[in-house]
Amino acid sequence: MTELKIAIVAGEHSGDILGADLMSALCDLAAEKSFSISFKGVAGPKMQALGAESMFDMDELSVMGLFEILKRLPRLLKKRKQLAADLIEWQPDVLIGIDAPEFNLGLELMLKERGITTVHYVSPSVWAWRQSRIKTIKKACDLVLALLPFEQAFYQQHDMPCEFVGHTMADQIPLEDQQNTIRERLQLPLNQTILGVLPGSRGSEIKFLLRPFLITARQLTMQIPNLLIMIPAVNDYRAKAIQSVIDEAFSDLNIKLSIGNARDVMGASNAVLLASGTATLETMLMKTPMVAGYQVGWLSYQVFSRMIKTPYFTLPNLLANKELVPELIQHEMTVENMVEALLPMLTKPQNELKQQFFDIHQNIQRNASLRAANAIWPLIKRAKAI
């Protein structure tokens, strides 16, 4: 049986989910053609469970903010150089970098210069800011796999091969609202008012966002006395960090802390307060109203705010091309603003908003992992000369 070697590098929790689904689809394709596949690179727990060999801990790449990245830059560069050397020695048929563009584009460039075919899965937000990065992407990648429809058009304008594959989460999540089903499974009262609080999976996000989010929850509890606050941590380590903050300053709140069930929390909640990022798309797919907040270090924000080329930060708003989700960024992320935006979501029906979420969901439901695997397969065949 012919063995295919695929290098695959994910940089955070969402990349681990995408990577695991892609690995499954690629293995199915390979099995149909009597090939076996070995995966090596940087992998999270889901990818490792499917056989990916991780050459260092994925959390090494989970850093938020430009200047936060700069603080760890020497270590990241050293890790990338060693990873590139190890992968070049292994000689994979293709390298798939999943998101984490600050790390992966440089890695892809190093391997492409040595004749290895490279794919970048999840387009960097090049259409939104630092559009000059398209030059680097064209040098580093043979193919970009885009999750969202408007991204492909940008790459076509710049003569860069790109496939719109849809989003794997849109395939996994049912179109119908799952709130009652999830509550019954979790044994939660159907009439309970629930606020989901998702401060992010990175340590730096918890540092900047958790306390203001919980202060907001406290203010809301004063107006909604039976409010249940549900916080899903990505792993045990993050759960301990969150619990220490709760024990220190928020033990008066009705908080249910859990591990690894963010999607259930999104679906069970009346509304969600969350970090701006991939979680906003997942919450939209669960048809749950939300408020997105984000803060980074002052210097990072000064740089980022001058580079942004789009009117919105969150994916639901970008997909709708209008504000469906309140975006409270940096100085606008005050407790007063978060309470004002969340209160009607927790106390009034949001049927019109849920219908708009449903319509967007239908548009990006494309069997993404299979489409991604099918887009990558010709590159593998070319590299392997099969």
Would you call 93 helix, strand, or coil by DSSP?
coil
pLDDT of res. 302: 53
Q: Are residues 265 and 148 in the same domain?
A: no
Neighbours of 55 (CB within 10 A): 17
3-state SS, residue 322: coil
Give 165-182 pLDDT, tens digit per residue. 998 889 989 999 999 999
Mean per-residue pLDDT, 295-322: 71
Written as six digits, the tokens of 284 are: 């939209």
Question: Where residue 157 sits, what CATH number does that domain have?
Answer: 3.40.50.2000
The number of distinct structural domains making up the chain is 2
Confidence of residue 63 (pLDDT cuts 50, 70, 90): low
Residues 373 and 316 in one domain: no
Residue 290's CB is within 10 A of a number of other CB atoms, namely: 29
Q: Where are the alpha helices (DSSP H) in 56-128?
A: 66-71, 73-90, 101-112
Residue with token string 């009597």: 34
Per-residue model confidence as pLDDT tens digits over 114-137: 999 999 999 987 765 567 789 999
Q: Cα(172)–Cα(264) distance, rounded to whole angstroms? A: 13
Shared domain for 271 and 128, answered yes or no, is no
- Reply yes or no on whether the pLDDT at 299 is more than 90: no
Residue numbers of the domain that contains 235: 172-364
Residues 114 and 201 in one domain: no
Same domain, 185 and 134: no
Residue 343 has pLDDT above 70, yes or no: yes
Residue 67 above 70 pLDDT?
no
Please name the residue that has the structure tokens 């960097």.
124
* Sign of the torsion angle spanned by Cα atoms 331, 334, 336, 338: positive
Please state the rounded mean pLDDT for residues 193-208: 89
Per-residue confidence band for 64, with pLDDT thresholds at 50, 70 and 90 = very low
Confidence (pLDDT) at 73: 77
> Per-residue pLDDT averaged across 317-332, rounded?
92
**Residue 274 pLDDT > 50:** yes
Residue with tokens 């860069």: 160
Given a cut of 60, whether residue 307 has pLDDT beyond it is no
- 143 and 209 fall within a common domain: no
- Contact, 369 vs 171, CB < 8 A? yes
Label the pairing between strands 290-294 and 271-275.
parallel
Asked whether residue 148 falls in the same domain as residue 8, the answer is: yes
